[in-house]
Amino acid sequence: MSDLLALVVEDHVDSAIIFSEAVKRAGFDVETIRDGAVALERLAAVEPDIVILDLNLPHVSGMDILRQIRSDPRLANTRVVVVTAHDEMVNSIQDQADLVLIKPVAFSQIRKLAADIGALIQ
């Protein structure tokens, strides 16, 4: 029923559950993906409004996914929020991501952020 689509790309099971629930409650349809290669496949098919992206992923890194999103004109309006536990990675991704959050990140932080983005889009 909602026109807003979010991809949660996160291999840590609990984080994936929490972030997915948060964006869902902010009014997004959610697809949860735990593998980098699968995420790239999905990104070739859909145009999500927001991607919650972990960096440490199996098969294809979050870094490569971010680069792919930024080089695809079809995804020019996709907002990418990187959520990582590796704060030493911040400097190399901050210019490409719309926002970088360092774990621990709470459920309501993601929900509020997603709601803000949703409001900005509509």
Partner 1 sequence: MKADNQSVSEQTHQLIEFLDKNEAILKEIDEGVIVFDLDGRAAIANPSAARLLERSVREIMGCEIVALAGEEVKVDGHEQILNLRRGDKTLLVNLVPICDAWGQRICTVAVFHNLLQEAELDRARDDFVSLASHELRTPLSAVLGYIDMLKEDVYGPLTSRQRRAVERAAANTEQLVSLINNLLDQAQMQAGGLTLNYVPFSPVKLVDGVQTVMTLAARRKGLNLTTSIADDVPAILLGDFQRLRQIVANLLDNAVKFTDSGTVHVGIYKPDVHHWAVEVSDTGCGIPPEARRDIFAPFRQADDPMKRKYRGAGLGLSIVRQLVDRMEGEIKLESEVGLGSTFTVVLPLALGGVEGVSSGDGGESICSQESSL
Chain residues that interact with partner 1, rule: CB under 8 A: 12, 14-15, 18-19, 21, 25, 56, 79, 85-88, 90-92, 94-95, 98-109, 111-113, 116-117, 119-120
Backbone angles phi, psi at 101, to 5 degrees: -115, 140
Least distance in Å: CB of 47 to partner 1? 18
* Shortest Å, Cβ 116 to partner 1: 5
- Shortest distance, position 40 Cβ to partner 1, whole Å: 23
Quick one: 44 or 103, whose CB is closer to partner 1?
103
The total number of residues shown for the chain amounts to 122
Q: Which residues pair with 30 in a beta bridge?
A: 6
In this complex, which beta carbon is closest to partner 1, that of residue 2 or of residue 108? 108
33 or 80: whose CB is closer to partner 1?
A: 80
Q: Which is nearer to partner 1, 44 or 94 (CB)?
A: 94
Q: For the chain, first and last CA: distance in Å? A: 15
DSSP string, 87-117: GGGHHHHTTTSSEEEESP--HHHHHHHHHHH
| Alpha-carbon gap, residue 98 to 78, rounded angstroms | 9
